[in-house]
Amino acid sequence: MIGYVCKYTPVEIIEAFGEKPVRLDPGYKSYEHAEALIHSNMCSFAKGVLENIIENNIEEVVLTACCDSIKRLYDVLKDKVKFIHLLDLPRKKGPLAIDLFYNEIIEFIEAYQAFKNKNFAEENLLKILESKSFNKDKQSTESIAILGARLKDDVIEKITNSCTAKVINFTCTGEQRVFNIEAKDNLLKSYAESLLNFTPCMRMAEDRSKLINKEFKGIIYNTIKFCDFYSYEYAELKSKADLPLLKVETDYNDSNSGQILTRIDAFLESTGIKKMEKQKTKKGYFVGVDSGSTSTNVVIIDENKDIISYSIIPTGPKALESAFKAFEIALKNAGLQERDITSIVATGYGRVSIPFADRIVTEITCHGKGAFFVDNAIRTVIDIGGQDSKVIRLDDSGNVIDFVMNDKCSAGTGRFLEVMARTLGISIEEMAKVQREVKENITITSMCTVFAESEVISLIAQNKDQRDIIHALNKSIASKAISLVDRIGRKGKYMMTGGVAKNQGVVYAIESRLGEKLIIPFEPQIIGALGAALISLEGK
Amino acid sequence: MDTVKIYTNIIKDNMNRPEKVNKLINFGLTAAYYYVSFFKDKRIPKSLHYLNKYSIKSIKDSLANPQNSAWVNLFAPSEFLIAMDIKPLFIEAYSSFMSGFFIEDYLIDTAESRGMSNTLCSYHKTFIGASELNILKKPKFMMTTSMICDANIPTFKYLSKKHGVPLYIIDIPYKYSKDSVVYVKKQLLEVAEKLEEVFNRKLDIDKLREVVKTENKIRALMKEYLNYAGEKRFIPTMTFEMYMLFASHVFIGSKEVLHFYEMLVEDIKRAPERSGKSIFFIHLLPIFEKNFKDYFNFSDKFHIAGSDLNYDFVDEIDENDPFKGIAEKLILNSFNGEINRKVARIKELIEKIKPDGIIQFCHLGCKQSMGGTFIIKNLASEVGIPFLYLDGDCVDKRNNQEGQNRTRLEAFLEML
Ligand code: SF4
Ligand code: SF4
Ligand code: SF4
């Protein structure tokens, strides 16, 4: 086998040699070998490839002069694998560029012939190219585009499986590899030319705006940390904003994480192309289960959308057990049996592990749904839960049209407050009491829980008034929330949901930053479950 | 509060009024220019003083007359611009000056809020931020090469589209061959044509030859300078090694730079003998990093022996066919192509200079540089010179972990 990464790699030449080209698609969580060989601030995809090659003892590698990371990957690998070859890849088209690339291909063939002691036969290449010739399937179905930096194969597959539209993958992993070789007398040159004619990646000099079709139902834009090429195009698309656009930021190897898939799912839901199972039932009782990371909440409604009962319990170590328990409590409160229930929708982090649910929907859609149901003037939902926070934008009909979630850390969440309450030596309830007057207006500069904690410790050491410290902490949560709101733009009315909405101090702090009142529902923790129950009833 | 801080705050308060900020920046540059003109620091050799003024002036000139200016990157072949009397503004220089004015944070935040990745090199983010805010007036033309740095093509493509300003991308192959020279030469001919069209004036080929001739003379002087660099203590602050980039790159080929190098060679001959420990730098010097400033600026214990970036091309350019000559120069740059080229150049330089230590400051987001760190480390251990690499940011001061770096830098310097 020969490992490669770039779509411009002459894969068909490798095949013509009778060898197996394998596109490397690493999925590492740590880079033990790689970071011993290359600086840790390199792009994580390149590091993953390096890890993969070393760990699996891959002996033959072909690279292109794609980017600085790959070029340096080549330098590092040069004396570490048996065969490594780098093809220079022109950024322009035109006869001279084709000549250059053609020479590169010849050079590669010669190098590989020498290494393997094997001859290259053009007939083989021709056969292979003919088997990959154009078939003009004109599908004018709805489609969704994936642009930006390379997206992992399994993520692409998951998107394809969960949406009704055709998925067009424009990233490095998505080329169709079809050829239409006319000049058979100079096969290698026409092959070089057709490779250069692939959909241009961002590395190329060519303008890519022609890739954007106004008919797309949406664009999922992938970016990878320390990859420079793609953010520019995102910035451009964002400033135009004429198509629904979702930016996912990954370090490549974690792109199939739950958080990212949730965001993608919610995006598919909001653009109306999420695959949905058929719903028939309309009578009886409907349940929403919100299996969150800190609490599990269940709401039961009847066919008139009246709330019959609800339950809120802390999520235990096993999400499923907690879900059962919360469900039982809600049934009991309502005086119902399980057989009275028509359908159940699960949402929240643990949603996939709830076998008794008929359907699963992301918490983003559910929160939007629940909030709009409670008050149809709501355009922005600020949800701050135990371990994450999000801001959801609704349109005039209550559809989710945009959303942002916080990063993977606990900054600005309920967890942050819990840690701080512990540091201050008070209960979370005590901490939640109204804080309007302050003696001294302290500001906590670190957003990060760990650093903020040490700031609090030093404030305590300086004998600062506890109420002032709490006030400062509330302001810190508020500023994190406001920065999320500002990422999708301000628009009232605002509803705040999630456990932290019960904290008056935080509510005041956010209100004063927004300059507007927040609507707090009667029970802010069940809005997601309520939305799920409504979806269970409406079937959409 | 010192003057610079007051000035910084005034600029920041006016960010929503680009016209005013533009004027303020011009004012800042003018003030800096007069400051260096009138308050000659006795510790600074005449040549470097001249270079300091020249660098400030060159930025001022291009900002003052955007209609006669072109945006470029450090590696772009500005010979054409000099021959046609067009004023280049290079990204790296502008961003460094903005960091000098302490407004880089604002500009970077602006670029990031428009969608730029926060891991992108801060030279580029600062420049983009300034252009987003329209503090930078659009030029008449943009020109970049594809070599060495990933950020160039996308930054220039983005800016050119945004402002509707014509851009020429010169694609520089990674490998040197007859065909690759032909490929680049053809593009250089196109650049010249494009420049003639946009600026509505002719490129006088004799003038271009003259520029290349001057450039060759300068490179000869550079070599002479290097003969002394190992024996003398000369560069007083990190900033000067970075100012040298104006002379060794974008403005090489101008009469002023020739004059500068003539003075430089004279100055270094007269400089005091080497004393203390001398440090050779890989790629960039962190001119705003506090620890480095404390240790290297005007220090007699540690001095700056040079940076390989100033010597990325040391050969002669073909004067008869300047297009071909410049094409070769671009492809053969020691930072282009396999790292072996760069390693070989560093080896030559340290053999000549014989530094006591080598430091690589890994500028955040600069993968071409940090990707080779461990290889250069191997080279250093081969030749038996202590090597240190530190992470940080040459522009965005917020990215410098000063406490951490201090310990490591101190320990390294103690070790020497
Ligand atoms: S960005 Fe372009 S050159 Fe780089 S790996 Fe992807 S397809 Fe290849
Ligand atoms: S993700 Fe970007 S930086 Fe990383 S290897 Fe691909 S093109 Fe290069
Ligand atoms: S520091 Fe590196 S990434 Fe930044 S402009 Fe220079 S070469 Fe490019």
Reported as a single tens digit per residue, the pLDDT across A470-509 is: 888 888 888 888 888 888 888 889 999 998 998 888 999 9
- CA B166 to chain centroid, in Å, comes to 23
Record the tokens describing residue B25, joined without a space. Answer: 């920046």
> What is the reported pLDDT for A279?
47
Q: In this complex, do A68 and B149 lie within 8 Å of one another by their Cβ atoms? A: yes
Q: Between B255-270 and B46-64, two packed helices, what is the crossing angle to 10 degrees?
A: 160
- Local confidence band at A436 (pLDDT 50, 70, 90 cut-offs): low
Hey, whose CA ends up nearest to atom 1 of ligand 3? B366
Q: Is the pLDDT of residue A322 over 80?
A: yes
Short-list B51, B48, B92, CA closest to B298? B48
- Min Cα distance A422 → chain B (Å) is 29
Residue A180's pLDDT band, with cuts at 50, 70 and 90, is confident
| Per-residue confidence band for A260, with pLDDT thresholds at 50, 70 and 90 | confident
Intrachain domains A2-131 and A380-520 with the same fold: no
- The boundaries of the domain holding residue B170 are 3-415
Q: Cβ < 6 Å from ligand 3: which residues?
A: B 92, 121, 123-124, 148-149, 151, 363, 365-366, 368-369
CA separation for the pair A237, A247 (Å, rounded):
11
- Measured between beta carbons, the chain A residues lying within 8 angstroms of B115 are 231-232, 234-236, 238-239, 247
Q: Which two tokens stand for residue A37?
A: 């060989």
Pocket lining for ligand 1, CB < 6 angstroms = A 5-8, 64, 66-67, 89, 172, 201, 203
Paired strand residues for A394: A400
DSSP-derived pairing of the beta strands A307-314 and A295-302: antiparallel
d(CA A220, CA A170): 10
Give me the residue label for tokens 């659009």.
B138
Do residues A494 and A380 touch, judged by C-beta distance below 8 A? yes
Strand A218-224's sheet: what is its strand order?
A166-169, A143-148, A218-224, A245-250
Question: Which whole number is the average pLDDT over A359-376?
Answer: 91
The dihedral over CA atoms of B21, B25, B28, B33, expressed in degrees to the nearest 10, equals -160
Hey, which residues 335-374 in chain B have their CB within 8 Å of chain A? 338-340, 362, 364-365, 367-368, 370-374
Write out pLDDT tens, residues B100-128. 999 999 999 999 998 898 899 999 999 99
Q: A512 vs B341, which has greater pLDDT?
A: B341
- Domain boundaries defined on chain A: 2-131, 143-270, 285-362+529-538, 380-520
- Judging contacts by C-beta atoms under 8 Å, the chain A residues touching residue B161 are 207, 236
Helix/strand/coil for B398: helix
C-alpha Rg value of chain A to the nearest Å: 27
Determine phi and psi for B134, rounding to 5 degrees: 60, 25
| Cis bond upstream, residue A152 (ω within 30) | no
Q: Does B375 touch chain A (CB under 8 A)?
A: yes
Mutate to test the interface with A, among B73, B150, B159, B388 (most CBs of A within 10 A): B150
* Residues of chain A found within 8 Å of residue B179, distances taken between Cβ atoms: 96, 99-100, 103
Whole-number percent of chain A with pLDDT over 70: 95
Q: A380-520: CATH homologous superfamily?
A: ATPase, nucleotide binding domain (3.30.420.40)
Rounded mean pLDDT of chain A?
Answer: 88
A420 HSE (CA, 13 A, CB side)? 35
Does the domain made of A143-270 have the CATH classification 3.40.50.11900?
yes
Q: Indicate yes or no: pTM above 0.90.
A: no
pLDDT over 90 percentage in chain A: 45
Distance from the alpha carbon of residue A332 to the mean position of ligand 1, in angstroms: 58
d(CA B192, CA B207): 13
* CB of A293 closer than 8 Å to CB of A388: yes
Taking CB atoms and an 8 Å limit, are B171 and A91 in contact across chains? yes
Dmax over CA atoms of chain B, in Å, equals 59
Calpha distance A32→A54 (Å, rounded): 10
Residues in A touching B180 (Cβ below 8 Å): 88, 100
Interface contact flag, A238 B391, Cβ < 8 Å: no
Q: How far is the CA of A235 from the centre of ligand 1 (A)?
A: 20
Binned at pLDDT 50, 70 and 90, residue A95 comes out as very high
Consecutive H or E run containing A155? helix A153-162
Mean pLDDT of chain B: 94
For residue A28, which of A3, A55, A7, A6 has the smallest C-alpha distance?
Answer: A55
Note the pLDDT of residue A435: 61
Angstrom distance (rounded) from CA B154 to CA B46 = 39
* CATH assignment, A285-362+529-538: 3.30.420.40
Q: Does domain A2-131 have CATH number 3.40.50.11890?
A: yes
In total, how many domains does chain B have? Answer: 1
CB contact (8 A) between residue A100 and residue B150:
no
Reported as half-sphere exposure (CB side, CA atoms, 13 A), residue A160 has a value of 12
Give ligand 2 pocket residues (Cβ under 6 A).
Answer: A 43, 45-46, 66-67, 69-70, 149-150, 224, 227, 229
pLDDT on residue B136: 94
Ligand at shortest distance from the CA of A252 = 2
List B281's β-bridge partners, or say none.
B307, B359
Q: How far is CA B379 from CA B184, B307, B350, B352, in A?
A: 32, 16, 11, 15
Strand A60-64 relative to strand A359-360, pairing = unpaired
Note the helical H segments in B314-401. 322-331, 339-353, 367-370, 373-383
Buried b / exposed e along A212-223 (16+ C-beta atoms within 10 A): beeebbbbbbbb
The pLDDT of residue A138 is 56
Report the alpha-carbon distance of residue A417 to residue A411 in Å, rounded.
Answer: 9
Task: Please check whether residue B129 is in contact with residue B106, taking contact to mean a CB–CB distance below 8 angstroms.
Answer: yes
Cα separation, A168 vs A160, in Å, equals 9
Residue nearest (by alpha carbon) to ligand 1 atom 6: A172
For residue range B58-97, what is the model confidence (pLDDT) as tens digits? Answer: 999 999 999 999 999 999 999 999 999 999 999 999 999 9
For the beta carbon of residue B153, count every other beta carbon within 10 angstroms.
25
Averaged pLDDT for residues A516-529:
93
* B402 vs A227, higher pLDDT: A227
Contact (CB, 8 A) for A67 and B150? yes
Distance set, CA B405 to CA A55, B102, B293, B327, B411 (Å): 32, 21, 12, 40, 10
Considering only A167-176, B148-157, B188-197, B205-214, which range has the smallest mean pLDDT?
Answer: A167-176
